[in-house]
A and B are shown apart, each in its own frame.
Chain A
């Protein structure tokens, strides 16, 4: 029986899982495939978080520091899992870190390999992401917001009319992602506020199926965007984005006004959803944990309420590897995964 906990993935969920397990007295090994911690928010250059409007880099650096400064956490960078054998309490995990092969003996494992943003170039959505430079994604816009340099990629000029198209790559049987990605309504609204702050002369519209602003996002982000920043919300999804002169023409229905519409925009932002990351898919297959039809790791156990349990005893899942999650969800599930992983190695 090994008393060590292995955490795979150095994003928000992995960092919190490692920190929590260490604080509970565990010996933790954290594997990160890149040469730095912070996960997707760091890699994709997120600007502000919906949480207290915090700077994403700062918040991620804090999470990382809690782990790197902890004596009982060993971080292995440039690490990749090569194979696994054994069972709960006695796992043998073959890895390669920094070009060096190693075998780790651990009692329990937490998978925190996260998600990736939907690639809007995929068929059946006629948004021309790869054709028109002024069609961008939430992730692209986030980078521009971080640099306080929001411009139309086609001409370098600040956009005056900006449209967000919601549910790109989510809630769509034809695409295969039937689920809601949970965060895009909030992120689009947050970005709309930042846009109106950085470009006060701009008009911003959000085209949606339903606004899913659960909990306090409702009053803290949605109402704020609409009431203080005059962001317009129109129920109706855009069917296609076309070119008109040097602008983009979007087509849809203004459903509550019961009229088809065609409007020109300077910039169109696709609110791309979440898909399992390549790492999540690979690790699931390597470890033999069950995935759902979308490729996320199936969690919930037999009761459905064992929210961090995978199909393999001793292997737990935290964060968006188990499905779309915001930072609150990810960090909360990481704490629970740490507790469950520690309970196992101490038994």
Chain B
């Protein structure tokens, strides 16, 4: 292999996404690196693995916050792209990794990587977020939360292997130990005041949230935008 920037990194990842050019991968990398938060999120990495040992996702997925910090520090552009395409959605954003002795914030790096993935509408990001369209639809349009019954036990492997068993008995347990905020309702959420709802719609548009949705899921965007704009016009 000729000496290029690509083969600078020792142990660098192979090119697993040949459909994306190196220049494009590098552009995404620099978008992350040039974020003003970046220098507070990554000082230097010991590669000690304390972040992995505290990470709930690392127990259930082939996921390593250490590799993310390392790949960023080493400017391993190919691997960063793999991480953007495949790894970042495995993070629960719990920030247990803040235990880092160097004061790094791998979870924060994931936040930056996610933002770049979403803003650039990567195909892999679209695929991953497909499953969330129902949640997004509910939260953004109705202005209320996801009802307990909407959550399927197989959504989140990091909840642990027993969640299926727990879910089976959940209705009985909820009756036995009432959860105050649910008030016995698990298949519906509260009704949002219309004024609040219109304010929310305005916020979604003004803050660029709708642009992000458009980038990721155009069908969902059309659905949301139609209703929201109509309601906003009605006032």
Q: Which residues of A contact B (CB under 8 A)?
A: 161, 203, 205, 207, 223, 226-227, 232-236, 247, 252-254, 256-261, 263-264
Contact = CB atoms under 8 A, between A and B. Distances in A.
Interface string B169-195: 000000000000000000000000000
Given A254-B10, A260-B11, 11 more contacts: A161-B8, A203-B8, A232-B73, A232-B74, A233-B47, A252-B10, A253-B11, A256-B66, A257-B11, A261-B11, A263-B10
Nearest to A259: B11
A258 B47 CA distance: 12
A257 B70 contact: yes
Contacts of B7: 263-264
Contacts of A226: 43-45
Given A161-B8, A256-B70, A263-B8, A247 B44 contact: no
Given A227-B43, A232-B73, A257 B8 contact: no
A234 B10 contact: yes
Contacts of A223: 43-44, 102
Interface of B: 3, 7-12, 43-45, 47, 66-67, 70, 73-74, 102
Contacts of B45: 226
- The majority secondary structure among interface residues of chain A is strand
For A232, A236, A247, the residue with the greatest tally of chain B CB atoms inside 10 Å of its CB is A232
Contacts of B70: 256-257
- Top 7 nearest A-B pairs (CB, nearest first) are A254-B11, A226-B44, A259-B11, A261-B10, A257-B11, A256-B47, A261-B11
Contact of A205 (B10, B47, B67): B10
Contacts of A236: 10-11
A90 B82 CA distance: 75
A257 B44 contact: no
A236 to B, nearest CB: 8
A253 B11 CA distance: 7
A261 B13 CA distance: 10
A234 B11 contact: yes
Contacts of A207: 10
A235 B8 CA distance: 16
A205 B8 CA distance: 10
Nearest to A250: B10
Contacts of B10: 205, 207, 234, 236, 252, 254, 261, 263
A254 B70 CA distance: 11
A260 B3 CA distance: 17
Nearest to B8: A203
A34 B66 CA distance: 52
21 contacts: A161-B8, A207-B10, A223-B43, A223-B44, A226-B43, A226-B45, A227-B44, A232-B74, A234-B11, A236-B11, A253-B11, A254-B10, A254-B11, A256-B47, A257-B70, A259-B12, A261-B11, A263-B7, A263-B8, A263-B9, A264-B3
Contacts of B102: 223
A234 B46 CA distance: 10
A257 B67 contact: yes
Contacts of B8: 161, 203, 263
A146 B9 CA distance: 29
Contacts of B9: 263
Nearest to B73: A232
Contacts of A260: 11
B201 to A, nearest CB: 44
A162 to B, nearest CB: 12
A115 B44 CA distance: 33
Contact of B3 (A234, A247, A256, A258): A247
B21 to A, nearest CB: 23
A79 B93 CA distance: 69
A254 to B, nearest CB: 2
A156 B22 CA distance: 32
Contacts of A257: 11, 67, 70
Nearest to A223: B44
B42 to A, nearest CB: 9
A247 B8 CA distance: 13
B47 A235 contact: yes
Nearest to A234: B10
Contacts of B67: 257
Nearest to A207: B10
B14 to A, nearest CB: 9
Contacts of B73: 232
